Amino acid sequence: MYLGKIVEISKTEEIFKNPLHPYTKLLISSIPSLDKKLDINEFEFDNQKGECVFFNRCKFRKDICKNNTPQLIEVSLGHFVSCFLIS
């Protein structure tokens, strides 16, 4: 959930193994680990507003994200993502 909007739903194990939404990836990558480092340059913040709630933090955003709200779509059994990158 980001800013009160659901961006990804699945079983916990599936989310940790295969995060699909950029915000979910950010959350998972911020978990402390001795094996990896968070690349803070991978995520940005620039005050632009769009219909996608994660628009202003997503470096992968597309033009469609500016004026359209992505719907939750089922990408695999029980795994739903709200992102135009996945559709």
Predicted pLDDT at 22: 93
Rounded Cα gap, residues 29 and 39, in angstroms: 9
pLDDT in tens, the chain (87 residues): 888 899 999 999 999 999 999 999 989 988 887 666 655 555 555 656 668 889 888 889 899 998 999 999 999 999 999 999 986
Rounded Cα gap, residues 21 and 49, in angstroms: 18
Predicted pLDDT at 36: 61
- Which pTM value belongs to this model? 0.74
Predicted pLDDT at 51: 84
End-to-end alpha-carbon separation of the chain, Å? 19
Return the percent helix, strand and coil in the chain, to nearest 5: 30, 15, 60
List the domain boundaries for the chain: 8-81
